[in-house]
């Protein structure tokens, strides 16, 4: 179809230049090449609006393209009238929304060959690091290694396409595996698959209701403690690679030359990763380290543990499988508690990783989208024999440090992992574990927040204690518990800090009335301090409480105000409130404690004194 023909169809010759119309027509006509992803990046509201705005032009385009001989003058007249209403701004907005501006960073439309090469090599590096992690976590959960590998592939692929942060890697994780082991031991793997499906549904609901936004309530000390604890966990997980089967079948620590050889290869891998960026950036440093060490071990026949010593990763495509569990209330009672815990752990780790990767890449937002992506991936995984998963901070750091910045690297990692399972298992099983350990130890060094050790003496003591507490609980117990404890302790410390700030300054009006100027928030923690400010027996008949520099926050504050008014009422005195802000006015009025007159105006510009109704909340009981 020529430009002239397209221009005649849309009828935009009066308002658009040839270059501008070419852009808009290309977006409308060729959008089918990427039909789902650009629209997904818009909100549903935006997509609906732009479709309504562009409907007449699209209708004309479809009819006249598919049926040039169509005769329908009434329809064409209607379309022509509607087309005239579509201004240049409307078409521009429509084209901009279909241009996938949010997707451009993560598609091939603006990729150079060098960018594509970097993304693919980063994905290959991540895939190599995923293999031993997925196998190890499968052993932790007491399931077959392919269960963990399928989870890493499916979760990684789906979140790569629709996740909230391009370049972030998801897969089977240890934080989830330690919870799953109890379920598998008591009820079997089929119940695990059903639990993963329910876990995904709960995560989708969390995304729909935008619960991911509450991750912003996680304080920075908790974030630092989480990062440090996770780095320690990754380090401790690598220590198991220094164990070998003993004569009685139990694992024993390496010693002698095997240990020295293993340590030497690990150190050499770390050195290559450290030196490689100073020499060239053509190949990601972790991939170069793995390749060099694997070549040395294979060429010289060095006897060290390899990936194949953990388990065989050979397998086929994951098959659709409905979990074989009874569909009744008893099953729900078994799987729901596990699903709820797994969903919470998965979302907390994913959203914290989202923030961490965002700090490195300079991106923000996407929490609700990540919740939906994690939920959808886990729901699908449960129907294809996978153990579920969430974001992996270690692999995400490897990807970002290797140059992966778009969805292509994460998609490549998932596809490479599948290719390892299908056709390259014999080759991947020859990779020495020492090379992968070296990569993960460099991740530990890059993940641990070393500056947190330097600033310990410079930050408030409470923040330092929270940071240490979250780190210890992450290592000793569980990530979700650690974050929840850290948030609770931080919230209590903040509440105590604000509770001690409330105070009042007393003054008298020319008429002899006493005015208490309150400063600081009035909430459950500051109620006692608020009450101690007043002296009802010694005050005059009219007392005014000025909230110019204070706020009424919660029900405890309402109770305290009513109790104070009741004390003055019993003494035959009057208590009035002044300078209530909009939010304080709304809270008190809703509680029924304000006597609102005709001059009611909760603006600071008009000092309205409100009387207080007593007996509303039962303060006298």
Query: pLDDT of 121-180, one tens digit each?
Result: 999 999 988 888 888 788 878 888 899 999 999 999 999 999 988 989 999 988 888 889
Q: Are 585 and 550 in contact (CB under 8 A)?
A: no
The answer, as to whether pTM is greater than 0.85, is no
Q: Residue 398 falls within a domain, yes or no?
A: yes
Residues 161 and 283 placed together within one structural domain of the fold:
yes
Of 89-98, 328-337, 405-414, minimum mean pLDDT range: 89-98
pLDDT at 369 over 80: yes
Last residue within a domain, chosen from 461, 484, 511? 461
Do 311 and 454 sit in the same domain of this protein? yes
Looking at the structure, tell me whether residues 131 and 226 fall in a common domain: yes
Both 312 and 206 in a single domain?
yes
pLDDT given at position 618:
59
Q: What is the pLDDT of residues 552-579, one digit of tens each?
A: 888 888 888 888 988 998 999 998 888 8
Cα–Cα distance measured from residue 51 to residue 38, given in angstroms and rounded to the nearest whole number: 13
Q: Which residue has the higher pLDDT, 460 or 612?
A: 460
pLDDT of residue 582: 77
Domain match, 312 and 429 both: yes
Residue 515 confidence (pLDDT) above 60: yes
Q: Give the residue-averaged pLDDT of 29-56.
A: 42
Distance (Å) of CA 99 to CA 23, 41, 248, 374, 496: 10, 10, 63, 26, 51
**Beta strand 390-391 with 542-549: parallel, antiparallel or unpaired?**
unpaired
CATH (domain of 511)? 3.30.750.24
The pLDDT of residue 429 is above 70? yes
Mean pLDDT, the chain, rounded, equals 80
- Which of 69, 102, 135 is at the close of a domain? 102
* Predicted local distance difference test score (pLDDT) of residue 18: 43
In a domain, 481, yes or no: no
The answer to whether residue 522 sits within a structural domain is yes
Same domain, 420 and 371: yes
- Length of the chain equals 621
User: Does residue 530 fall inside a structural domain?
Assistant: yes
In a shared domain, residues 88 and 122: no
Do residue 349 and residue 295 come from a single domain? yes
User: Band of the pLDDT at 600, cuts 50, 70, 90?
Assistant: very low
488, part of any domain: no
Residue 125, domain extent: 113-234+250-461
Which of 51, 73, 102 is at the close of a domain? Answer: 102
Q: Are residues 305 and 216 in the same domain?
A: yes
In a domain, 261, yes or no: yes
Q: What pairing do the DSSP bridges indicate for beta strands 594-595 and 610-612? A: antiparallel
Q: 36 pLDDT band (50/70/90 cuts)?
A: very low
Q: Say which range, 106-110, 115-119, 408-412, has the weakest mean pLDDT.
A: 106-110
In a domain, 476, yes or no: no
Tally of domains in the chain: 3
Residue 256 and residue 289 in one domain: yes
Give the residue-averaged pLDDT of 500-504: 89
User: pLDDT confidence of 69, banded at 50, 70, 90?
Assistant: low
Q: Choose the most confident range, by mean pLDDT, from 61-70, 236-245, 512-521.
A: 512-521
The pLDDT of residue 335 is 95
Q: What is the mean pLDDT of residues 78-103?
A: 46
Model pLDDT, residue 577:
87
Q: Which residue has the higher pLDDT, 543 or 42?
A: 543
Distance CA 386, CA 151 (A): 4
Contact assessment for residue 582 and residue 612, using Cβ atoms and an 8 Å cutoff: no
Is there a single domain that holds both residue 91 and residue 221? no
Residues 327 and 433 in one domain: yes
Q: Quick one: what percent of the chain has pLDDT higher than 70?
A: 78
Q: Establish if 7 belongs to a structural domain.
A: yes
Crossing angle, helix 256-279 and helix 433-447, to 10 degrees?
60
Q: Is the pLDDT of residue 531 over 70?
A: yes
Residue 167 confidence (pLDDT): 87
Could you tell me if 440 and 238 are in contact, meaning their C-beta atoms sit under 8 angstroms apart?
yes
In this predicted model, which residue has the larger pLDDT, 53 or 99? 53
């Amino acid at each position: 179809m020529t430009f002239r023909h397209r221009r005649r169809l849309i009828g935009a010759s009066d308002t658009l230049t040839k270059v501008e119309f070419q852009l808009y027509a290309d977006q409308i006509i060729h959008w089918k090449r990427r039909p789902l992803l650009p629209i997904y990046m818009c909100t549903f509201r935006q997509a609906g609006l732009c479709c309504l705005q562009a409907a007449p032009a699209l209708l004309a385009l479809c009819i006249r393209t598919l049926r040039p001989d169509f005769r329908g003058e009434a329809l064409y007249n209607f379309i022509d009238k509607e087309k005239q209403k579509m201004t240049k701004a409307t078409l521009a907005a429509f084209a901009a929304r279909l241009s996938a501006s949010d997707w451009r960073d993560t598609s091939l439309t603006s990729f150079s060959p060098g960018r594509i090469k970097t993304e693919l090599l980063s994905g290959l590096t991540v895939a190599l690091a995923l293999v031993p992690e997925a196998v190890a976590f499968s052993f932790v959960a007491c399931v077959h290694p392919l269960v963990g590998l399928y989870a890493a592939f499916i979760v990684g692929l789906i979140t790569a396409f629709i996740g909230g942060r391009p370049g972030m890697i998801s897969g089977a994780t240890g934080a989830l595996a330690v919870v799953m082991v109890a379920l598998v031991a008591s009820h079997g793997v089929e119940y695990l698959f059903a639990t993963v499906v329910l876990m995904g549904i709960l995560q989708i609901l969390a995304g729909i209701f935008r619960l991911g936004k509450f991750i912003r309530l996680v304080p920075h000390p908790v974030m630092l403690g989480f990062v440090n604890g996770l780095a320690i966990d990754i380090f401790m997980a690598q220590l198991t690679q220094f164990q070998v089967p003993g004569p009685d079948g139990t694992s024993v620590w390496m010693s002698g030359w095997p240990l020295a050889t293993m340590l030497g290869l690990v150190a050499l891998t770390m050195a290559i990763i450290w030196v490689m960026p100073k020499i060239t950036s053509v190949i990601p440093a972790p991939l170069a380290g793995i390749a060099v060490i694997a070549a040395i071990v294979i060429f010289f026949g060095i006897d060290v543990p390899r990936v194949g010593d953990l388990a065989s990763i050979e397998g086929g495509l994951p098959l659709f499988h409905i979990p074989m569990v009874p569909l009744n209330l008893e099953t729900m009672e078994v799987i729901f508690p596990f699903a709820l815990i797994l969903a919470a752990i998965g979302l907390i780790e994913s959203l914290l990783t989202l923030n961490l990767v965002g700090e490195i890449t300079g991106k923000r937002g996407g929490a609700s989208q990540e919740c939906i992506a994690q939920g959808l991936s886990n729901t699908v995984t449960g129907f294809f024999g996978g153990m579920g998963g969430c974001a992996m901070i270690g692999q995400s750091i490897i990807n970002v440090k290797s140059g992966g910045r778009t969805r292509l690297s994460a998609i490549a990692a998932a596809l490479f992992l599948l290719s390892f399972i299908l056709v390259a298992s014999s080759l991947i099983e020859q990779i020495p574990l020492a090379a992968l350990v070296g990569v993960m130890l460099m991740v530990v060094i890059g993940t641990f927040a070393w500056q947190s050790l330097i600033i310990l003496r410079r930050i408030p003591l409470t923040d330092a204690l929270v940071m240490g507490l979250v780190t210890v609980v992450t290592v000793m117990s569980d990530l979700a518990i650690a974050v929840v404890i850290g948030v609770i302790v931080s919230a209590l410390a903040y509440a105590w800090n604000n509770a001690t700030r409330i105070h009042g300054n007393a003054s008298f009006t020319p008429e002899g009335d006493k005015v208490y100027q309150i400063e600081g928030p009035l909430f459950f923690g500051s109620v006692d301090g608020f009450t101690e400010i007043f002296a009802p027996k010694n005050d005059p008949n009219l007392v005014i409480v000025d909230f110019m520099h204070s706020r009424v926050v919660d029900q405890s504050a309402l109770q305290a105000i009513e109790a104070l008014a009741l004390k003055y009422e019993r003494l035959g005195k009057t208590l009035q409130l002044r300078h209530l802000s909009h939010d304080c006015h709304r809270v008190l009025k809703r509680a029924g404690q304000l006597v609102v007159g005709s001059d009611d105006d909760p603006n600071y510009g008009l000092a309205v004194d409100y009387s207080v109704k007593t007996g509303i909340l039962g303060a006298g009981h």
